[in-house]
Amino acid sequence: MAGHYVVRQVERADPAVLTELRGAGVATVHEAAGRIGLLGPSIRARQDGAAVAGSAITVSCQPGDNLMIHAAVEVCRPGDVLVVTTTSPSTDGMFGDLLATSLIAHGVVGLVIDAGVRDIATLREMGFPVWSRAVHAQGTVKASPGSVNVPVVAAGQIVRPGDIIVADDDGVVALPIALGPEVVAAAGKRLDNEAAKREQLAGGVLGVDMYNLRPLLDKLGVQYVDELP
C-alpha cells in the first residue's frame, strides 16, 4: 500500500464483549482463543493492577517522531485503545502526560506502544494505563508522515484496526472482532473449570493427582526414591 493515510472509519467490538474479556484477563483470553494474538513480552505494563479492553486504533510512526499519534487522536472514540508502532525499532519517549491528557479527553482507555514513553510518574498519577517497550526520557519531533488505522506489527504480533485489545499485568493480546463472542464463551468455561481446580488444590489435592500425571511421570522414566543411589 503506497502513501500515508488517516482512516476515519473503524469497525468496533461490542462493548459487552469487551467488558467480559477485560474481566477474564489476558492469560485466560489467550488460552480461550487457542493461544493466538499475544504480543511479545518486550511490551510491558508500566503500572500495577490496570486492566483494559477496547478496540484498536492503530498508528504507524517514523522512529523518534510522534506526529501521527497527534493525528490519531481525532479518530479515537470512547473505549478505544491506541496501538502505536514505529517503522524501525525505537525506544524514544514518544508519549507523555500531554498526549495522555488529550486521549483521556476523547475517552481512550489505554495505550499500547512498541516504543518508549516518558512522564511515567505523572501518567501513573493520572491513572492512564500504558504498555510500552521502554521508559525513556528521549524526546521526539513532529515532522514525518505515517498512517493511522492500517495494519501494524507490535512486538511480533499483527494488529489490525478495530481488533479487540485486552491488556493487564500479564501483557497484551489482540484478537479479530469476529472471535469475540466465542472467546467470551470459552473464557467463561475456563474460569469455571479453574475455580473448581482451585478449590481442590486449596483442599490439599496434589496437582499430579488432579491432572493424573503419575502415569506420565512413570512413562518418562521419573523414579521416586527416598535417597539417591
Binding residues for substrate: 96-99, 118
The gap between the terminal CA atoms of the chain, to the nearest Å, is 67
Count other Cβ atoms within 10 Å, centred on residue 111: 26
CA dist., res. 43 & res. 112, Å (int): 8
Count other Cβ atoms within 10 Å, centred on residue 73: 17
Phi, psi torsion values for 47, nearest 5 degrees: -155, 165
Binding site residue list for Mg(2+)? 119
CA dist., res. 177 & res. 194, Å (int): 26
* β-bridge pairing 52-61 and 164-168: antiparallel
Count other Cβ atoms within 10 Å, centred on residue 2: 3
Binding site residue list? 96-99, 118-119
User: What is the SS3 assignment for 146?
Assistant: coil
CA dist., res. 229 & res. 226, Å (int): 9
Closest listed residue to residue 95, CA positions, set 118, 128, 65:
118
